[in-house]
Amino acid sequence: MIKTIEWTDEGVRMLDQRLLPAEEKYLMLRSYEEVAEAIKKMVVRGAPAIGVSAAMGLALGASQSVGTSVADLEDDFDYMCKVMSETRPTAVNLFWAIERMRQTFRREQSKDTRPEAIKACLIAEAQQIFTEDIAANRALGRFGAELLADGDTVLTHCNAGALATAGDYGTALGVIRGAIDAGKRIAVIADETRPFLQGLRLTAWELAKDNIPVTVITDNMAGHVMKSGKVNAVVVGADRIAGNGDTANKIGTYMVAVLAREHKIPFYVAAPISTLDLTLKTGAAIPIEERDPREVTHIKEHQLAPDGVGVQNPAFDVTPNELIAAIITDRGVARAPYVESLQGLMATSAVGSGG
């Protein structure tokens, strides 16, 4: 099992995804600032993984707080939440995880007034979020598996795999792994996903590790490959899903969705419930992160573009709900009209949560 993020006695252990596939190197992050920096610099990326990382970072930071009163701890914790919330703007799982840690703080505060008790609960909560993420992806993998047929070739964009989550299954790749675990033969076509090359570097790496057949294409080949009849379904992850089903995901996802419709290929989004943001009516309200132009102009230390050329680098785009055949979550599969189906899933209990 790929261990994207792990809670250890020494700190938060993270696989440095910037170095993959050349190097499989793990960093030991020993403060909440180091975790925040790792999220910002994309040591770790992928909405669920960012959420889990943020929770662990807050637990780590709180555990190191030297305040002797709950009030001191609360001040420290609030500041840490602020720092953590400013790392990346698009993935709602970040804010979801921070809010859940805040609620844990408040709940414990009302029960126990010793800082150490609250710290212990925050650590337990971060580990719970980790465990639930693994379970959620297993669950959505089972639901999604039913949408794929034996022999299908699935195109995916970016990396929505073990590396984009707490580890293990992943979301979009969780659906693929779920289908394979259900005995279906599935082949994957991975868009390389410029500029960060999550497809070429990460999806290819983790699928190859699991012996799942994968072919990498440049992003601009997706249309040509679909036209040639080689793609049976598209499955992607999500960074934030609005109330109407509009989905923010890695830049290029919208393009893939338009091409899928053009070629009558079903386009599926796979994400845990924590990626839903029902406070937003439509995708128009989702903030889209603009990242450093250097990610486009350079590869590693290599400058590829002329000096000073203008560059745009939006990290995400929004796919309108009408292009989405279904949204696969850990609580079931939502279909249009999404306003109703997503609210319905949100109201149901988590699978296996026992209540």
Residues that bind its own copies (CB under 8 A): 21-22, 157, 191-195, 197, 200-201, 204-205, 208, 213-225, 227, 251-252, 254-255, 258-259, 262, 296-297, 299-300, 302-314, 317
Q: State in angstroms the smallest separation of the CB of 298 from its own copies.
A: 10
Q: Which is nearer to its own copies, 82 or 224 (CB)?
A: 224
Q: State in angstroms the smallest separation of the CB of 330 from its own copies.
A: 28
* Residues found in the chain: 355
What three-state secondary structure class fits 134?
Answer: helix
Long-range contacts of 257-264 (CB under 8 A, 24+ apart): 257/319, 257/323, 257/324, 258/323, 259/222, 259/223, 259/226, 260/155, 260/226, 260/231, 260/234, 260/323, 261/323, 262/223, 262/226, 263/226, 263/227, 263/231
Q: Which is nearer to its own copies, 42 or 98 (CB)?
A: 42
Q: Which is nearer to its own copies, 41 or 227 (CB)?
A: 227
Question: What are phi and psi for residue 245, nearest 5 degrees?
Answer: 95, -10
Q: State in angstroms the smallest separation of the CB of 143 from its own copies.
A: 28
Q: State in angstroms the smallest separation of the CB of 205 from its own copies.
A: 5
Angle at 165 between CA 34 and CA 159, to 5 degrees: 105
Is 239 annotated as catalytic?
A: yes
Calpha distance 305→318 (Å, rounded) = 27
Question: What are phi and psi for residue 141, nearest 5 degrees?
Answer: -60, -40
Q: Which is nearer to its own copies, 184 or 230 (CB)?
A: 230
Q: Which is nearer to its own copies, 36 or 173 (CB)?
A: 173
Q: Which of 168, 239, 246, 277 is labelled catalytic?
A: 239
Q: State in angstroms the smallest separation of the CB of 282 from its own copies.
A: 14
- The 3-class SS string of 144-196 reads HHCCCCCCCEEEECCCCCHHHCCCCCCCHHHHHHHHHHCCCCCEEEEECCCCC
> What positions carry a catalytic annotation?
239
